[in-house]
Amino acid sequence: MKILVTVKEVAEAEDDFEIDGLDIDDRYLEYDLNEWDEYAIEEAVQIKEDGECDVVSVTIGPERAEETIRMALAKGVDRAIRVWDDDIAATDTLDPATKADVLAAVVAEEDPDLVLTGVQAGDDSFGATGVALAETIGFEWGAVVNALDLDADAGVGNVHRELEGGIEELTEIQLPAVLTIQTGINEPRYASLRGIRQAQSKPLDVSTLSDLGLDAEALESPLRRTAMYEPESESDAVVFEGSPEETAVELADLLRDAGVVEG
C-alpha cells in the first residue's frame, strides 16, 4: 500500500502589512506548512504505523519549501517529491485545475492507493485541488473528511465528512481515492530530534515539468488575479481606551448594565 500526501507551503500575512501590486509585500509574509496538510501528513503516518505502507509527499513549490518538506519527512514521511522549474516560477496563478494536472502526472508515476490532501490552503482557500485531482485521475474521493477508517482488504475507506451544524456524514468510499482532510481529525505530532536527524538522509527529489512529461502549456490558466486590496473596515465598535485596568473596569460595567453579571 502506498499513500501520497500533497503538501503546500503557504504564506501567512502579519497583522500589519502592505500590498505591493497584486500580492502582499513579501516582507509581511511568513511561510509555513499549510495547517490542513499537517493533519493529512499525520493521518498518513498513523496509517503507516498501523501496517505496512509507504508514505510519499509531493509539493509544488520553490527551494524555500524544502524546509517544510523536511519537517514532513521528520514526522515519518518516507520520501518527498518537489515539483518546480523556471516555467512554474514564472507563473502568476497556479489554479486548482493546473495543480491537479501537475499532481496527476505525479500520481501516474507513483501509483498510490490513497491520496491525502488538506481541505484547502490557508492562503488562497480555493478548496478545490483535491477533488479536481480525483476527477482528473479517475479516483473516487471524499471532501472534508474528519474521521478515516481504512479497510484495505475490502478496498474501502469508511469516512466521516464534517458537514455544517455539528452533523457528520458517514460514507463508504471505494479505493483508490483522494480524501481531503479537515483539521481536528487527529493530533499532529511534533517532529522528534531523532526524526529531524533521519529526515536529512531521506530522499527529496526535484522534478521538472518535463520530467513529468508535461510542458509549459500545462500551466496556462483562464484565471488571472487583477486586483488585491484591503476591504474597508465595517467596524463601528466602541473601543475602550486606556490601560488594561481602565478598560477592564469599563467592560465590567458594561456586563453589569447588560444584566449578565451580578452587581
Give min distance, CB of 102 to another protein, in A: 14
Q: Which of 54, 79, 127, 198 binds another protein (CB under 8 A)?
A: 127
Q: In angstroms, what is the minimal distance from the CB of 255 to another protein?
A: 7
Question: What is the distance between the alpha carbons of residues 91 and 245, in angstroms, rounded to a whole number?
Answer: 52
- Which C-beta is closer to another protein: that of 51 or that of 259? 259
Alpha-carbon span 113 to 108, nearest angstrom:
11
Q: How far is the CB of 206 from another protein (least distance, A)?
A: 27
Q: Rule CB under 8 A: is residue 262 a binding residue for another protein?
A: yes
Instruction: Quote the DSSP letter at residue 18.
Output: -
206-245: contacts with another protein (CB under 8 A): 221-231, 233-235, 237-240, 244-245
Of 160-179, binders to another protein (CB under 8 A) are: 160-174, 177
C-alpha cell at position 9 = 507551503
Exposure class string for 200-223: b at 16+ Cβ within 10 A, else e? eebebeebebeebebeeebbeeee
- Measured from the CB atom, the residue of 167 and 201 that comes closer to another protein is 167
CA 122 to chain centre: 7
- Assess 154 for contact with another protein (CB under 8 A): no
89, 90, 193, 258: which one binds another protein (CB under 8 A): 258
> Pick from 33, 36, 14: which is nearest to 24 by CA?
14
Tell whether residue 97 is a contact of another protein (CB under 8 A).
yes
CB of residue 26 to another protein, shortest distance in Å: 13
Closest CA to 4 of 37, 33, 36, 50: 37
